[in-house]
Amino acid sequence: MLDALWGQIAQYSDDFSRVLVFLPSRRAIRSVERFIVEKIGHAVILPELVPLGEGAEDEEESCPDTISNRERVIVLAHLLSMDANVKNIATALPLAQDFIRMQDYMENEGVQITDIDWTEIIDDKYATHFQNKAQILNILKQLPNDRLTTTQKRNRDIRAWKKHLDKYGCVVVCGSTASVPATADLMEHVAGLPNGKIILSGKISGAKEDLELDTNPYHSEYLFLQRLGLDVDDVQTIDVGKSAIDIMNIAFGNTGVHTDEKLTNCKLIECARESEEANVATEIARLAIKENKSVLIITPDAAANTRIKSEMMRMNIDADFSSGLSGTMTDLGRAILNLFDWWAENKNSEYEKLYKQSGYNLFNMLVSFVDSENGYDFQPDFTIENESDIPIWNAIKETADILCANDIVLSIFDARSFVADAISSVSIRPTKTEDCKVCVLGTMESRMQTADVIILTGLNEGMFPSTGYENAWLPRSVAKQIGLPSPNRKVSLMALDFMNLSCGKEVYWLRSKQSGGTLTTESRFLSRVRVTVGDIEKDDVILESVRAEDDVPYKPLDYSAPTPPIDKTDVFVTEIELLIHNPYAFYVKHILRLKRKDDYWVLPDARNFGILVHDVIENAKDFNAQKLIDEMDARAKQVLPDNSILFYFWHKRFCEIAPFVESFFKNKPIEYKEILGSVNIAGRNVRARADIIWDGVVMDIKTGSAPTKKQLLDGTMPQLPLEAFIMQNNGFPIKMRDVSITPVLQFLQLKNGMPDLIEYADDVAQSMIDNSVQKVRELFGQYSTDKVASYEYRESVGAKYHEFDDLARVDD
């Protein structure tokens, strides 16, 4: 197409300003711009390149008032929500969008919804749901229509060009199929100009009865020629060199002719599933890039686009995707929707208050809330200055302005629906890089695009070709009666795209044999080619290379205990307890530095209870029992879900704990809490964070059972004895009167039903300290010398020693 266009405008290269070219899209304009510059070889004033649908510049001044699609949807959704069968905005929005889409489709095809009595043409011989929709259509057509819709404006702008074309030396319409009435009107006018040229896509040929079929690739072009009073033979062929188009014309005709000529430029790869198809497309692109080739990938649906995008990112391949990121997938979009969900789920009155204060303007409410010190933790976090988020803010503002202009006040649930609709309407496209070798497009966007390697994906029935527009509001016979095109028109247009794209230098046809666990049917396009040329050449080399990546050679799991290099880093006393009872747990936590994340769905447990009680006691200013209970209750309500039955069990424990805590601390205020200290044992620093200490006393608060006296004397529960050893060695940053005195070891045991103070002093305490220190020396001798012991897994009693059992593969 680019070569054909150049052949028609090259004679004007001295003064391209006299040339006007209409093209299918802005992307096509960029392709033509690059092509012309490459042909000329230097800077040049380009022809006027216009995407079909864009109006002439001076038309803007006299443009009548236009109603946006967003306003149409909002007003209609509000109206529908008042219906007893619809009831709310969340239900009404998709109905309104579907209706607006249908109305635009009809207007695009030249059918005015207001000119038809819908209950007359959809009478009682049709299904009840069609009759009900006909009544709605008759009501909705009475809505004010004093402003142009965006579809009406676009069609008006296309036709408005006709009065401006005489000033150009050459006018060309390139790459359009004339399938839309407004475009066909403009093309008819251009065709009648002495300086007008129409460049049709493909190479139209075939018998009249074939071309009249609504699935024929050239059906729209044939109808346009009929409109001009021309036959297929009247179309001039532009010679752009050898091409596969003639074979394609045979395949898509209904002659049944077989040709011995082969499609040497096309190869078929049949994949097992859709994910493998994305992998294959990415692998082809990767190999092409290595050879400095450009790649064009065609994906007929959004899901395939997403799969290929993920695979490209995994392979670190830079690709230009036509589809952007939905606004609902951005940090800002998700954060705003999470805010509305939080308001709705918590029945929070803050929304009503802020909404009223902002004059019932959703945008102003959100902006003021984001700017204020509201204490709300937005998740995910976002940057307010992010330029790529501006379209999202604009969409929300437009929605808010429309709601205010129409005096629509929303509940939190309706507001959430409208905001979600506004955010989802935004597509954030990344900045396009000019040196990008890979481009991923849909079929319509691919028109007038070219590349060294072309990959057509999704070549299954229902996907490529996909089914045409099925109107849920109208029976097929009624759609045909009022002049709407056949749903097969989309099949026809996709067939023409398939033919043109398959004429590339190096083409790959990809399909998956299964989709969502269901067997697929090969695209009729491939079947036609197979009938014409016989077997299609397959490329199994690429497919096998992709499958080889998943074919990982068997390697037995190594169940031996880990033996990492010598570790002499600082270690906390709580980790030493792990090393004693389960060395593997110590290895995971201390050596690998892994930490288990809290499970969102798991309710608070004994660990959360212990943290709460510790925190309240250590930070208490007044040890009055009732005040302690009130503070613990308040903290519990922050941690536990609303109306949790667990609260009542915790409250019972609080009532038991508080009087005991009061009796102990009333006359013995806390001197030091959560204080860090350290001491060197066998050349390695041992660190501790003591719960509470006084001069000569170390205390550990236990909401469960305290260690037994035997465990402490054996040195197998060394935490508190080691903290006492740190105190003996001036390891805590406190003033000591006499370090030679053995510190008193105290456990404030707040066990359910058994609150108690357990205390060890003098020789008993010193034995516990000495035995614990000796135990640590032995451990460091095993794990901190040249001959490192393995960190084996040991069965131990106590949940805290089994936190990493899944990594140890205990169940295996």
- DSSP per residue over 606-653, as a string? HHHHHHHHHHHHHT-S---HHHHHHHHHHHHHHHSPTT-THHHHHHHH
3-state helix, strand, coil in the chain (%, to 5): 50, 15, 40
The secondary structure of residue 510, as a DSSP letter, is: E
Q: Which residue has the tokens 């769905």?
A: 601
pTM over 0.75, yes/no: no
Beta strand segments in 206-308, E: 266-271, 295-298
How many whole angstroms separate alpha carbon 501 and alpha carbon 484? 28
Phi-psi region of 593 (alpha: psi -120 to 50; beta: other; left: phi over 0): left
How many whole angstroms separate alpha carbon 355 and alpha carbon 763? 70
Cβ-defined contacts of 271-276 (< 8 Å, 24+): 271/510, 271/511, 271/512, 271/513, 271/543, 272/512, 272/513, 272/514, 273/512, 273/513, 273/514, 273/515, 274/303, 274/304, 274/307, 274/512, 274/514, 274/515, 274/516, 275/307, 276/512, 276/546, 276/547
CB 502 within 8 A of CB 443: no
The CA distances from residue 497 to 132, 175, 305, 502, in Å, are 39, 11, 18, 8
How many whole angstroms separate alpha carbon 397 and alpha carbon 422? 9
The CA distances from residue 586 to 577, 608, 765, 780, 787, in Å, are 9, 22, 26, 13, 18
How many whole angstroms separate alpha carbon 4 and alpha carbon 172? 11
CB 165 within 8 A of CB 21: no
How many whole angstroms separate alpha carbon 695 and alpha carbon 735? 7
pLDDT one-digit tens code per residue, 725-751: 999 999 998 887 776 689 999 999 998
Count CB atoms within 10 A of the CB of residue 231. 11
Q: Which residue has the tokens 């629509």?
A: 408
| Half-sphere exposure at residue 95, Cβ-oriented, CA atoms within 13 angstroms | 21
434, with CB counted inside 10 A (0-12, 13-18, 19+), is exposed
How many whole angstroms separate alpha carbon 98 and alpha carbon 119? 19
Cis-peptide into 485, omega within 30 deg: no
Count CB atoms within 10 A of the CB of residue 123. 10
**CB within 8 Å of 477: residues ≥ 6 apart:** none
Pairing of strands 66-67, 325-326: unpaired
How many whole angstroms separate alpha carbon 566 and alpha carbon 570? 13
How many whole angstroms separate alpha carbon 464 and alpha carbon 803? 51
In three-state form (DSSP H/G/I as H, E/B as E, the rest C), the secondary structure along 297-321 is EECCCHHHHHHHHHHHHHCCCCEEE
Give me the residues of the chain with pLDDT under 70, please: 57-63, 323, 347-348, 375, 431-434, 468-470, 600-601, 739-740, 786, 811-812
Which amino acid is it at 583?
A: P
Which amino acid is it at 164?
A: H
CB 105 within 8 A of CB 471: yes
pLDDT for 750 equals: 92
pLDDT one-digit tens code per residue, 276-317: 999 999 999 999 999 999 999 999 888 888 899 999 999 999
Which amino acid is it at 730?
A: N
The CA distances from residue 9 to 14, 26, 202, 367, 447, in Å, are 10, 19, 19, 52, 19
pLDDT for 701 equals: 93
**CB within 8 Å of 443: residues ≥ 6 apart:** 298, 300, 464, 493, 494, 497
Name the residue among 465, 556, 472, 551 with its Cα closest to residue 511: 465
pLDDT for 238 equals: 86
How far is Cα of residue 682 from the mean position of the Cα atoms in its chain? 53
The CA distances from residue 532 to 119, 176, 347, 457, in Å, are 49, 28, 66, 21
CB 332 within 8 A of CB 326: no
Name the residue among 580, 641, 639, 593 with its Cα closest to residue 615: 639
> Which residues are 746's β-sheet partners?
699, 759
Q: Token pair of 226, please?
A: 């009929």
How many whole angstroms separate alpha carbon 470 and alpha carbon 476? 8
Name the residue among 728, 635, 628 with its Cα closest to residue 681: 728
**CB within 8 Å of 10: residues ≥ 6 apart:** 39
Count CB atoms within 10 A of the CB of residue 569. 9
Torsion, Cα of 275, 276, 278, 281 (10° steps): 180
pLDDT for 627 equals: 93
Which amino acid is it at 307?
A: R
Q: Token pair of 553, please?
A: 């050679």
Cis-peptide into 217, omega within 30 deg: no
Listing DSSP states for 459-479 in one string gives -BTTTSSPP----TTS-HHHH
Sheet-wide strand order for 196-199: 48-51, 19-23, 170-174, 196-199
Name the residue among 226, 214, 91, 178 with its Cα closest to residue 476: 214
Q: Token pair of 742, please?
A: 């053995």
Beta strand segments in 412-463, E: 427-428, 438-441, 453-456
Torsion, Cα of 311, 315, 316, 321 (10° steps): -30
Q: Which helix (H) or strand (E) holds 173?
A: strand 170-174
Q: Token pair of 223, please?
A: 């109808």
Q: Token pair of 57, please?
A: 């510049």
Angle at which helices 412-424 and 350-357 cross, to 10°? 70
Listing DSSP states for 134-152 in one string gives HHHHHHHTTS---SEEHHH
Q: Which helix (H) or strand (E) holds 422?
A: helix 412-424
